[in-house]
Each structure stands twice: as C-alpha cells, then as structure tokens.
Structure 1
C-alpha cells in the first residue's frame, strides 16, 4: 500500500469511528429511509435508461457511485476531523429561542407530534396527509409555526415522506464530514424551537426532472412535524392521516 493510499484509508476509518457515536442512536430510523432510497435508485435507473443496454447503464451507474465515493474519501482525507454543529451537540431545548418545559410540549403537541419533534422519532411512511399535498404555500414547524419549506421546492420522491430540494433559513442542519453525511444523512431541525424534522440526504441526482436534481439534496421530512399554510385556504395539520394513499413519483 502506498503512503497516499494509507493516509486516505486511515482518514476514512478515523472519520467513521469518530462519527459512529453520533449516528448510532439514529441508525434504525436512518436505515428505513436509506432502504427506501436504495429501492428508488433501482427504479430510477430502470425507468431512465433511454434504450441503453443494461450493461452500459450499469457501467454508468457504477462510475457515478465510484466518483461520489472518491469525492467523499478525498474530502474525508483532507478535512480531518468531522465538523460539529450546535444541532449535533445541544439538546432539543437548550440554546434555542423558543423554550418550553417537557410538560408544556406534551400539553401543546399531539402524541405523534411530540414523538417526532421532541424525541426525534420517525413517522410511518405515507402516514401524513402532507405527503401528497400539491398546492402552493409554505410548510411551517408544527411546534412553533416557523416557516421551513416552500411548496415550489417540494417533490414526490416515492419514499412516503414529504421531500424538499431546499429549505428556508428557519431550518438547521446537523453538520458532518461529507462521507458520514453521504452514507447516513444529516439531522434536520427547526432553528427556532429545536424540533426534529427529519433528515437531509445528498442524493437529489437520482430524482431527474425534480428540483432536487438541481440542488443535489433531498430533505426527507416527517409530515407530522409540519403544518401547511396554503396561499388560499385554511391551514392543514400534518398530523392528519390521509384517507387515500398515492404511491407515485414526481
């Protein structure tokens, strides 16, 4: 093994070891979302081969994945220790503008809202009415009404969770080294109250024709953690369960 290869390998291993403590507790939730992404990648590759042979398509996909991994390894090797943000180190109450006791949160939120916003839980796929919402408007934090996402950035990812290509300034994203973020995602919170929203994945490229293709990002958000304020009409609470589920992509 050359000195360069050894340095890169050591850097990757170090980053993974240092980041494992922060990501272990969220592994089960992340696994569900990551498995959905894996299935979507297979579907996307199959639907967009444009008549190319399966061998050439597979080769192109392998090259893209290899390039992404090379970029992640290079970043890990040159960046050194993983970056740590306030979102990764502070609790969901301390340090945020809106302060409430645990009992106060329990009295103002529904059971599902509390589980997600205050304990970092994950809703069942397709269990929020906002997953299929298509009207123009703004998606706000269900805990404090802070604007977080615009409808023009929303797209149907097929994962079962509301997905957005970008976020407003009211969103706080946990910072990790690129390798850890690519493999496991980064936690998304409300910057005002610290409420857990979901996770950010850097896989927007697998959703051609959507806003995510341009940003390269997919904010995978729990609909229960949001309320939708349409430009016209009344506010829709994300905790509402849909009467009909549509399984489709944008």
Structure 2
C-alpha cells in the first residue's frame, strides 16, 4: 500500500520539478533583473544597432590579424583566462558587454553578479538569440559552452548553479568581452 502511494507522489514531485525548470527557460531575457522590468533605452538601442543578420565569417588568418594573442587563444581556440586576473570580474559599472571579436551585444550589467569564481558571471544574456549554447565534452566532462551567435567565438560556459530568476551562471572570459559603460 505504501508503495502505491509513494510512486504517484514521486511522479507528481518529479513533474513539478521539471515544470519549475521549464519556467526558467521561458524567461524573457530582454528584461532586467526581475524578469519584468524593461531594459533601459541604451540597451535596446544597442540591440537594434547590431543585428544577427550581419553574421561575421572570417578566415583564421583574418582572426589572427584582428585579435591579440590572448583574445585569439580564448575566442578562437576555446581557451580560458586565469581566474581573478581579468578585467571585468570586479567591474561594477552599468553598461553592455559585447563580443570582443564582432561587437555583438550579449550581456548587460543588470544581470551580472558576483559568483566568487573569479570570472565575470551573469544569470542571463540580453537576448537568447545573442548567444549559442553548445555541448562541450573536453577535459573529461560534459559542459555547456557559450558562443557568440554572430561569429561563433568562444565566450565561456553556462552552469545550472546561478541565482534566480534563471538559476543559470554564464561564466565568461573577460578577454572575450568588450565593455561599454552607459552613456
């Protein structure tokens, strides 16, 4: 009798957990911290000025000429910069974070938080269309890589241990980002 009660209860709880998880993936990322407040005009202007239709495709030789050695290592060779020794981990200024390779606006200071990991972390991109998530099986583990949706450059990884409202932590390389403060 106990088993008959336990099984439906387990199924119900499992469905509730999956439903809760699905809610975070339906979040409108074009809104600010609470998921309800509209983003400021300067963020919307940046999104409107840079379209994803302007896909950036370059040869590796062209990337080598355009990027510094460290940028090339991270953006094109999928490297990682050292924790705590990067430009944007402690940045508290209000503004927009762009892909360092193609100037695609991807993250805003509204969703940035201190994760304690030593890399700049965000709980959501400006828009889901601005980033691409790809399965990464390197280093003997399965992770989710974050790439720029416009040029395919490696930006960092996303993990399911971030704060609400998404529960995600986009852990990014500063060298893969350019920051423009609010004007």
Query: What root-mean-square deviation, in Å, do the aligned CA atoms of Structure 1 and Structure 2 show?
Result: 2.4
Runs of 5+ unmatched residues, structure 2:
1-12, 19-53
Alignment length, in residue pairs?
129
Please show how residues 54-203 of structure 1 align to structure 2 within 5 Å.
97-168=55-126, 169-174=129-134, 184-203=142-161
So what's the TM-score if we normalise by structure 1?
Answer: 0.48
SS of 2:116's partner is coil
Q: Distance in 1 between matches of 2:106 and 2:142?
A: 22
For residue 22 of structure 2, what is the aligned residue in structure 1?
none
SS in 2 for 1:139: strand
Structure with the higher helix share, 1 or 2? 1
Q: In 2, are the aligned partners of 1:117 and 1:225 still within 8 Å (CA)?
A: yes
How many angstroms apart in 2 are the aligned matches of 1:106 and 1:161?
A: 24
Tell me, yes or no, if structure 1 residue 224 matches structure 2 residue 182: no
Structure 1 residue 185, shift from structure 2 partner: 2.8
Q: Distance in 2 between matches of 1:131 and 1:203?
A: 18
- Runs of 4+ off more than 6 Å: none
Match of 1:19 in 2: none
CA positional deviation for 1:173: 1.1
* TM-score, L = length of structure 2: 0.65
How far the C-alpha of 1:203 sits from its partner, in A, is 0.8
Which 5+ residue runs of structure 1 have no aligned equivalent? 1-66, 73-95, 177-182, 205-211, 233-250
* Structure 1 residue 175, shift from structure 2 partner: 5.5
